[in-house]
């Protein structure tokens, strides 16, 4: 082929990986409207070229079987296609009827974004407000609400922390396997650097010898569900051997007397024994932490979805707090946020409680595991309508069977998704959305310190006819609900044409004049500023409000990142940079002193509050066997382990997995021998809520008595298509959950195994 006839080499286009919350910057080459090649984006200021192997499999996300028309359920249970005008009018009408008869608070909202798509969720606030809906939730209320509740208690207003493993002398992971699940930038190179440096140490607390534990200097192979004992013993040793930073506590902490006394009362030997970890090894870990110049700690699902989960988070945070590993390089730090609602800034408990169960609502999030109970109850405030967006709760909430019953008991439900999910199959209406490579998108998981990054992605593929972006879906619903009047937005578009300064003035004045528009602001921005944004970026209009909020909350941090101006001008500068930086933009840079200013801004004393009486009570009355042993179910099952071939339910084509297509049940070599099981043998896994069949993988990395099933399996490839592997929540029980935050014990499911005889 000559140079003239060779097809042009497609250019590399910047975007991001959406398969975990790291959202590494990537570049893709597109051929025939498909992602053909993927590589890490060196120009991305956060990930700087890093991407793991999963990013290579993103084309499979794009190949999910698509819904291309709104679908309405017929009386016989099947779906029929309807046009958008019919769909919008009927969905708005059905939800409005529930609101008018029972009150908007009986309509709940679930989701609003997966790992990388939070822009749609920003617009959903307008729809919810138009309906008077007050309860919402998402996956965070199955994992992080306990931790967020403690953060809010400790810090007050700016209340979410970032570890700094890049600079930490000692890194500790509690119920977290970052080699597989990531969770912080450059996870694998950072872990290797720590493991390879004799001056630094890696400590892992996990019942399984995970890929991360393989690299560790110290692995505390705790008995499942006994982290509270282990962490309490570790704290007791730190106190007993005088490793606490008393000067730090004196200067910066409050209310630590009672928790210190409780920790000092712990019987170290007995607690190590019940956690089944040698006391000497726990002492070694405590000494390594105590002697270190800097320590960073990260907890995750292994304790957040297990007995005592909120107490575990409290004890985990006390490790760095009592040793003064805060507000310094290599330690825990607070961080800025660029998001529409201060995602983690409002993590306090609200005065609302859940209908039916009366539980806490933390950070505005309804305890996800309690949703079926809040539907299947006689409480007059019970949920009757649901909007589910970018989430698959029938698959991801505990007890799928009960969630299906709950969906069927609703007066009306609508699902907004790209594909026919398990949840969509239970809905009354399904609205098709564009994928994250066909529209403008962004993530609000910007959770880093001292440098924080925001990335607006532009579409790289053309979407099919039919699906819409979520901002447009919400605009139509809000308009159909009549929440924005004909003259409400008059003149704003003209102001936008004059520039952002004129727009800021006009928009501010309109909101002050008509405060009922404030909760509808994202849709108002989309309709007035949106059309004036370059390159069809109307969906990014809501970010103008986020940028203003970010500038108002963190002006010094933005200035250090190079943004200039005061008031709305500073926000405008950030917005323009976010809009035009295709590889992501550094929006804030901080010094470690900022931590103390942020605490002082929300709390006069400027101190970290370490006393949480409710959890100290729980510690003082800790059971030896949390989660109650039942002889009928002698094993503890971790239902939903992260492996290199899992990505929640983002990819449905089973052929994306080159290994382990069925999702093996991991079992210890000792248990396998006792049950005469070999690799590949098929077993029935039985719990109080279900029975599932899976092949086994025997391994000496598991503790005896512990089993693990992967997450993300057990979904169909297209509605009615084949289902591969076990859906973990066919086995779990939503009533087994944390008393403080309601987080379900997915990692601690009592189970038994029955061997399936060949043939």
Ligand X SMILES: Nc1nc2c(c(=O)[nH]1)N[C@H]1C(S)=C(S)[C@@H](COP(=O)(O)OP(=O)(O)OC[C@H]3O[C@@H](n4cnc5c(=O)[nH]c(N)nc54)[C@H](O)[C@@H]3O)O[C@H]1N2
Give contact residues for ligand X (rule: CB under 6 A): 20, 114, 117, 120, 139, 142-143, 174-177, 180-183, 205-208, 210, 222, 224-225, 227, 300-303, 306, 389-393, 396, 416-419, 421, 433, 435-436, 470, 638-642, 644, 646-650, 711-712, 728-729, 732, 746-747
- Identify the CA nearest to 370 among candidates 640, 686, 114, 739: 739
Q: By C-beta, is 20 or 577 nearer to ligand X?
A: 20
> 435 is in the binding site of which of ligand X, ligand SF4, none (Cβ under 5 to 8 A by kind)?
ligand X
How many distinct helices (H) and strands (E) make up the chain? Answer: 27, 32
Q: How far is CA 122 from CA 128, 291, 468, in A?
A: 11, 45, 16
Minimal distance, residue 212 CB to ligand X, in Å? 8
Using the rule CB under 6 A, which residue among 52, 98, 478, 726 binds ligand SF4? 52
477-507 core/surface letters (b: 16 or more CB in 10 A; e: else): bbebbebbeeebbeebbebbeeebeebbebb
Query: What's the alpha-carbon Rg for the chain, to the nearest Å?
Result: 26
Using the rule CB under 6 A, which residue among 35, 41, 46, 55 binds ligand SF4? 55
Q: By C-beta, is 347 or 711 nearer to ligand SF4?
A: 711
User: Near ligand SF4 by CB under 6 A, which window of 49-57, 300-308, 371-379, 508-516?
Assistant: 49-57
Minimal distance, residue 459 CB to ligand X, in Å? 11
H or E stretch at 126 = helix 119-131
The dihedral through the CA atoms of 696, 701, 707, 710 has a sign that is negative
Residue 319 sits at the vertex; the CA angle it makes with 323 and 742, to the nearest 5 degrees, is 150
Crossing angle for the helix pair 542-553 and 119-131, nearest 10 degrees? 100
Q: By C-beta, is 17 or 483 nearer to ligand SF4?
A: 17
Q: By C-beta, is 606 or 721 nearer to ligand X?
A: 721
Q: By C-beta, is 55 or 478 nearer to ligand SF4?
A: 55
Using the rule CB under 6 A, which residue among 14, 15, 24, 710 binds ligand SF4? 24
Minimal distance, residue 252 CB to ligand X, in Å? 28
Residue 292 sits at the vertex; the CA angle it makes with 154 and 252, to the nearest 5 degrees, is 30
> 22 is in the binding site of which of ligand SF4, ligand X, none (Cβ under 5 to 8 A by kind)?
ligand SF4
Minimal distance, residue 294 CB to ligand X, in Å? 22
298 binds ligand SF4 (CB under 6 A): no
DSSP state of 657: -
- Identify the CA nearest to 578 among candidates 477, 446, 485: 446
19 binds ligand SF4 (CB under 6 A): yes
Minimal distance, residue 578 CB to ligand X, in Å? 19
- Identify the CA nearest to 48 among candidates 19, 17, 26: 26
> 55 is in the binding site of which of ligand SF4, ligand X, none (Cβ under 5 to 8 A by kind)?
ligand SF4
Cβ neighbour number for residue 1 with a 10 Å cutoff:
6
Q: By C-beta, is 310 or 446 nearer to ligand SF4?
A: 446
51 binds ligand SF4 (CB under 6 A): yes
Cα separation of 439 and 526, whole Å? 14
Q: CB of 83 within 8 A of CB of 467? A: no
> 24 is in the binding site of which of ligand SF4, ligand X, none (Cβ under 5 to 8 A by kind)?
ligand SF4
> 121 is in the binding site of which of ligand X, ligand SF4, none (Cβ under 5 to 8 A by kind)?
none
Q: By C-beta, is 418 or 517 nearer to ligand X?
A: 418
> 52 is in the binding site of which of ligand SF4, ligand X, none (Cβ under 5 to 8 A by kind)?
ligand SF4
Q: CB of 577 within 8 A of CB of 546? A: no
54 binds ligand SF4 (CB under 6 A): yes
Q: By C-beta, is 443 or 572 nearer to ligand SF4?
A: 443
The pair of structure tokens assigned to 443 is: 């993530």
- Identify the CA nearest to 562 among candidates 527, 580, 587: 587
> 399 is in the binding site of which of ligand X, ligand SF4, none (Cβ under 5 to 8 A by kind)?
none
Q: By C-beta, is 607 or 657 nearer to ligand X?
A: 657
* Range 127-186, binding ligand SF4 (CB under 6 A): 182
Crossing angle for the helix pair 470-480 and 84-102, nearest 10 degrees? 60
Q: By C-beta, is 528 or 645 nearer to ligand X?
A: 645
Using the rule CB under 6 A, which residue among 13, 14, 15, 23 binds ligand SF4? 23
H or E stretch at 193 = helix 187-195
Q: CB of 255 within 8 A of CB of 224? A: no
Cβ neighbour number for residue 80 with a 10 Å cutoff:
10
752 binds ligand SF4 (CB under 6 A): no
Cα separation of 394 and 425, whole Å? 9
Cβ neighbour number for residue 83 with a 10 Å cutoff:
10
Minimal distance, residue 114 CB to ligand SF4, in Å? 12
Task: Assign 79 to helix, strand or coil.
Answer: strand
Give the binding-site size for ligand SF4 (rule: CB under 6 A): 11
334 binds ligand SF4 (CB under 6 A): no
Minimal distance, residue 595 CB to ligand X, in Å? 25
Q: By C-beta, is 18 or 424 nearer to ligand SF4?
A: 18
Minimal distance, residue 456 CB to ligand X, in Å? 15
Q: By C-beta, is 650 or 708 nearer to ligand SF4?
A: 650
Q: CB of 622 within 8 A of CB of 233? A: no
Would strands 385-389 and 360-362 be described as parallel, antiparallel, or unpaired? unpaired
Q: CB of 369 within 8 A of CB of 734? A: yes
Residues that bind ligand SF4 (CB under 6 A): 17, 19-20, 22-24, 51-52, 54-55, 182
């Amino acid at each position: 082929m000559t140079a003239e006839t060779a097809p042009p080499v497609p250019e590399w286009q910047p975007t991001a990986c959406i398969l975990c919350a790291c959202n590494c910057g990537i570049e893709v080459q597109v051929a025939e409207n498909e992602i053909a090649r993927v590589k890490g984006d060196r120009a991305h200021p956060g990930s700087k070229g890093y991407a793991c192997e999963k990013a290579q499999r993103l084309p499979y996300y794009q190949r999910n079987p698509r819904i291309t028309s709104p679908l309405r359920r017929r009386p016989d249970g099947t779906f029929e296609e309807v046009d958008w005008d019919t769909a919008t009018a009927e969905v708005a009408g059905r939800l409005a009827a529930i609101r008018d008869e029972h009150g908007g608070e009986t309509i709940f909202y679930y989701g609003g974004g997966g790992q990388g798509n939070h822009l749609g969720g920003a617009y959903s606030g307008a729809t919810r407000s138009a309906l008077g809906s007050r309860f919402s939730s998402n996956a965070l209320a199955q994992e992080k609400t306990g931790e967020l509740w403690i953060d809010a208690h400790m810090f007050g207003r700016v209340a979410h922390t970032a570890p700094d493993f890049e600079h930490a002398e000692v890194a500790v992971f509690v119920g977290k396997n970052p080699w597989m699940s990531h969770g912080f930038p450059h996870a694998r190179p950072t872990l290797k650097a720590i493991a390879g440096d004799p001056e630094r140490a890696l400590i892992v607390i996990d019942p399984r010898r995970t890929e991360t534990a393989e690299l560790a200097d110290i692995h505390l192979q705790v008995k499942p569900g006994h982290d509270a004992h282990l962490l309490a013993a570790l704290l007791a040793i730190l106190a007993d051997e005088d490793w606490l930073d008393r000067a730090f506590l004196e200067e910066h902490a409050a209310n630590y007397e009672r928790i210190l006394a409780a920790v000092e009362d712990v019987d170290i030997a007995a607690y190590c024994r019940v956690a089944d970890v040698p006391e000497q090894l726990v002492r070694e870990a405590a000494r390594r932490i105590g002697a270190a110049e800097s320590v960073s700690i990260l907890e995750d699902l292994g304790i957040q979805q297990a007995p005592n989960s909120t107490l575990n988070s409290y004890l985990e945070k006390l490790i760095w707090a009592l040793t003064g590993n805060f507000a310094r390089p290599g330690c825990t730090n607070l961080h800025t946020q660029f998001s529409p609602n201060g995602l983690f800034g409002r993590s306090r408990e609200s005065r609302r409680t859940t209908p039916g169960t009366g539980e806490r609502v933390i950070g505005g999030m309804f305890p996800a595991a309690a949703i079926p109970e809040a539907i299947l109850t006689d409480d007059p405030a019970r949920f009757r309508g649901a909007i589910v967006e970018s989430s698959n709760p029938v698959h991801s909430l505990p007890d799928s069977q009960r969630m299906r019953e709950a969906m069927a008991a609703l007066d009306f439900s609508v699902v907004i998704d790209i594909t026919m999910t398990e949840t969509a199959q239970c809905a009354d209406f399904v609205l098709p959305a564009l994928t994250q490579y066909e529209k403008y998108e962004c993530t609000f998981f910007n959770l880093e310190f001292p440098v924080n990054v925001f990335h607006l992605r532009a579409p790289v593929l053309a979407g099919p006819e039919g699906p819409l972006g979520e901002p447009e879906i919400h605009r139509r619903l809000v308009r159909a609900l009549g929440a924005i009047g004909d003259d409400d937005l008059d003149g704003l578009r003209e102001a936008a044409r004059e520039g952002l300064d004129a727009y800021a003035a006009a928009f501010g004045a309109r909101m002050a004049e008509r405060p009922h528009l404030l909760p509808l602001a994202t849709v108002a921005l989309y309709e007035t500023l949106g059309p004036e944004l370059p390159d069809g970026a109307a969906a990014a209009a809501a970010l103008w409000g986020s940028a203003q909020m970010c500038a108002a909350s963190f002006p010094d941090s933005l200035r250090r990142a190079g943004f200039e101006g005061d008031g709305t001008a500073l926000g405008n500068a950030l917005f323009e940079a976010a809009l035009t930086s295709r590889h992501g933009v550094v929006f804030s840079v901080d010094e470690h002193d900022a931590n103390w200013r942020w605490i002082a801004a929300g709390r006069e004393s400027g101190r970290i509050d370490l006393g949480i009486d409710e959890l100290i009570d729980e510690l003082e009355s800790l059971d030896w066997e949390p989660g109650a042993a039942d002889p009928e179910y002698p094993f503890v099952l971790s239902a939903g382990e992260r492996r290199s071939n899992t990505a929640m339910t983002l990819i449905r084509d089973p052929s994306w997995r080159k290994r382990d297509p069925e999702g093996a049940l991991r079992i210890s070599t000792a248990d396998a021998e006792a049950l005469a099981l070999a690799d590949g043998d098929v077993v029935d896994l039985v719990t109080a809520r279900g029975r599932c069949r899976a092949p086994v993988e025997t391994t000496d990395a598991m503790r005896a008595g512990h089993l693990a099933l992967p997450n993300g399996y057990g979904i169909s490839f297209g509605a009615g298509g084949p289902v591969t592997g076990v859906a973990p929540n066919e086995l779990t029980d939503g009533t087994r959950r944390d008393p403080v935050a309601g987080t379900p014990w997915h990692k601690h499911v009592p189970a038994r195994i029955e061997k399936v005889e060949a043939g």
